[in-house]
Amino acid sequence: MEVRNVTIINPTGLHARPASEFVKKAASFKSTVMVKNLSTGRSVNAKSIVMLLTLALTEGTEIEITTTGADEAEAADTLKAMVEGGFGEV
């Protein structure tokens, strides 16, 4: 299991377009990928856009990305880098 904490930096938060990119990338890995909103403690499957959007991740929200499986380290690092990069919006 790999765990990475990262803060949402997009001014409009994790809305539909960046969430879609995140889910698409998460789905490309064999590992299970979970995202937790550290403000609320709620955790969801990151391979579901509907579930990810229910976290209502706004700018400044700290999240925890947890990956478990064959490619867990690569998945955790890649997804953290996507969030840190602001999905090309920042």
State pLDDT tens for residues 18-71: 999 999 999 999 999 999 999 999 999 999 999 999 999 999 999 999 999 999
The pair phi, psi for residue 37, each rounded to 5°, is -80, 110
How far apart CA 12 and CA 32 sit, in angstroms, is 27
Catalytic-residue membership of 22: no
**What is the model's pLDDT at position 82?**
96
Residue 90 has pLDDT above 80, yes or no: no
Which residue among 3, 9, 15, 64 is the active-site one?
Answer: 15
